[in-house]
Amino acid sequence: MKLIIAIVQYKDSSGLVNALTEKDFRVTKLASTGGFLRSGNVTLLVGVEEEKVDNVIEIIKDTCKKREKTIISPYPVTESTGMYIPYTYEIEVEVGGATIFVVDVDNFMKV
């Protein structure tokens, strides 16, 4: 038995949970925060038999696509004069996708 831990962007989580449950995989959804943008993430836990790991990973890949997002970031400028000039600028960052861990499960039981 394997435990798949998938960290995905909040925007992708509902579609992924639906896609997994339609294929009869049981999913536990945990709210999480972190990363570069400090944006909401979701951590999904999926326990599966070893031969089904690739199926789950394919569903994650199909559902959680990477995309570009424009963010506005503060960027302080200090010239050689020592003057501090605060302003903001737009930057393109890549969001989406998934971070996936697959770990062995020593013991599994339902009570």
Residues of the chain predicted below pLDDT 50: none
Domain range list for the chain = 2-68+95-104
Task: Decide if 6 contacts 100 (C-beta within 8 A).
Answer: yes
C-alpha pair distances (Å), 26 with each of 17, 54, 93, 95: 9, 15, 32, 26
Residue 8, number of CB atoms within 10 A of its CB:
24
What pLDDT, in 10s, does the model give residues 62-81? 998 877 766 666 655 555 55
Residue 44: per-residue pLDDT = 96
Note the CATH number of domain 2-68+95-104. Answer: 3.30.70.120
3-state secondary structure of 102: strand
Q: How far apart are CA 37 and CA 12, in angstroms?
A: 16
At residue 64, φ and ψ (nearest 5 deg) are -105, 85
Q: How far apart are CA 9 and CA 32, in angstroms?
A: 10
pTM of the model: 0.73
